[in-house]
Amino acid sequence: EATKLGFNAYILGADISAEINELKNVIADKIMNYNADLPCCLIWGGEPTVKVNGHGKGGRNQHLVLSVLEMLIQEDIKNRFILLSSGTDGTDGPTDAAGAYIDENILKKAKNDPTELQSHLIAFDAYHFFERYGGLIKTGPTFTNVMDVIIVLISKE
58: CATH: 3.40.1480.10
Cα angle: 26, vertex 31, 35; to 5 degrees: 115
Largest distance between two CA atoms of the chain: 43
Q: What is the rounded average pLDDT of the residues 58-83?
A: 95
Q: What is the rounded average pLDDT of the residues 59-81?
A: 95
Closest CA to 110 of 124, 126, 97, 86: 126
Q: What is the rounded average pLDDT of the residues 50-78?
A: 93
Beta-carbon contacts of residue 156 (< 8 Å; ≥ 6 apart): 34, 35, 36, 37, 39, 78, 79, 80
Residue 3 included in any domain: no
Residue 97 included in any domain: yes
Is residue 52 predicted with pLDDT exceeding 90?
no
104-112 and 126-133 helices cross at what angle (nearest 10)? 100
Phi first, then psi: give them for residue 149, nearest 5 degrees.
-125, 135
What pLDDT score was predicted for residue 81?
97
Q: What distance in Å separates the CA atoms of residue 27 and residue 13, rounded to the nearest whole number?
A: 12
Residue 1 included in any domain: no
What pLDDT score was predicted for residue 17?
84
How many domains does the chain contain in total?
1
Find the domain containing 81 and state its range.
8-155
Is residue 15 predicted with pLDDT exceeding 90?
no
Residue 2 included in any domain: no
Residue 104 included in any domain: yes
